[in-house]
Amino acid sequence: QLTKYFPQLGGITGKKVLNEVKAVDGVSFTVNRGETLGIVGESGCGKSTMGRTILKLLQPTSGEIIFEGNNITNLSQKDMMKYRKEMQIIFQDPFASLNPRMKIYQIIEEPLINFGVKDKEQRKQRVYEVAEQVGLTKAQLHRLPHEFSGGQRQRIGIARALISKPKFIIADEPVSALDVSIQSQVLNLMRDLQKEYDLTYLFISHDLSVVKHFCDRIGVMYLGKMVELTDKHSLYNKALHPYAQSLLSSLPKSHPDEKKERIVLTGDVPSPSNPPSGCTFHPRCFACMEVCKSKEPTFIEVENGHYTSCHLYHSVDQNINSVEKESV
């Protein structure tokens, strides 16, 4: 149940906590080795904060982060070093994330220095190797970031993330800043590298059509909570949560004769510092019932591997029980 609250400071000294922004509010899930788990939701739903908290770039308020069986939640920066090599991040905006005064070679090499690889020749071999894998030439390595296009800069960001041979990569909107034609090149590259390095991805995106093609399982977030989690086929064919249904209804039809009604959400996304009572989606939900206003739904498994938090559904166990009762 990972949680990240940001205190909103106020008062004369600025030290009194007036309120808390529940950016990530009790999210719990597992990313399986070798898979690509997509996390979707509107901007401000806590996806990026969650990603940064999993990597401990932000310290969680409560909850646990387990990496390959090791609880890394309370490790010091020093003890985290061992895991940093194995857990990397690719950011949305390649330009903002690259130091404008550093040559590409230095940018890609830097993590190796931080991880204590002292042999300069060894670092050089590795930089060349990874540059080639992402499609950068040796000549390009001696240029500065501003000399590259958005797609090329994202290749540089990917090279830097890969240099330490990580196992797990969080990609936070890695193609959102790119033209559609470039997006698929970068995604194809990421997929090739996944095979090459046996990578596990947590792929954060607001774009449902991108995650549809790239991910194996998908989690939908709303106001800091995971509201649905399942494999992509069940999400796109039978989303359970009304919020997920409305997000999906805005996608273009896959065939012209597909029956699909667009569900238009009313109301704005409420502030995470003052979320609605009960189900936080209730003021915007087309299926809202009386119970939804006061009682928060729990995140349950409705069908095998298909989770949601919504009062419209019962857990698998309960379903089995009720079927048994009926047959008695």
Contacts with ligand SF4, residue ranges (CB under 6 A): 241-242, 279, 281-282, 285, 287-289, 292, 297, 310-312
Least distance to ligand SF4 from the beta carbon of 114, Å?
Answer: 44
- Contact region for Mg ion (CB under 5 A) — 42-50, 74-82, 132-140, 215-223? 42-50
CB under 5 to 8 A by kind: which of Mg ion, ligand SF4, none does 48 bind?
Answer: Mg ion
Give alpha helix (H) positions in the chain: 47-54, 77-84, 104-114, 120-134, 150-162, 180-197, 208-214, 232-238, 242-249, 290-294, 316-327
CB under 5 to 8 A by kind: which of Mg ion, ligand SF4, none does 155 bind?
Answer: none
Least distance to ligand SF4 from the beta carbon of 218, Å?
Answer: 17
Question: Of 48 and 164, which has the nearer Cβ to Mg ion?
Answer: 48
Closest CA to 166 of 196, 137, 141: 196
Question: Of 144 and 316, which has the nearer Cβ to ligand SF4?
Answer: 316
Give the interface size with Mg ion as a residue count (CB under 5 A). Answer: 1
Q: Kindly give, in sequence order, each residue whose CB lies less than 8 Å from that of residue 136, ignoring residues fewer than 6 positions away.
A: 104, 152, 155, 156, 159
Question: Of 48 and 152, which has the nearer Cβ to Mg ion?
Answer: 48
Question: Of 174 and 297, which has the nearer Cβ to ligand SF4?
Answer: 297
Q: Which amino acid is at 13?
A: T
Least distance to ligand SF4 from the beta carbon of 264, Å?
Answer: 15
For 250, half-sphere exposure in the C-beta direction (CA atoms, 13 angstrom radius) is: 12
Query: Which residues 45-74 are close enough to bind Mg ion by CB under 5 A?
Result: 48
Interface positions with Mg ion (CB under 5 A): 48
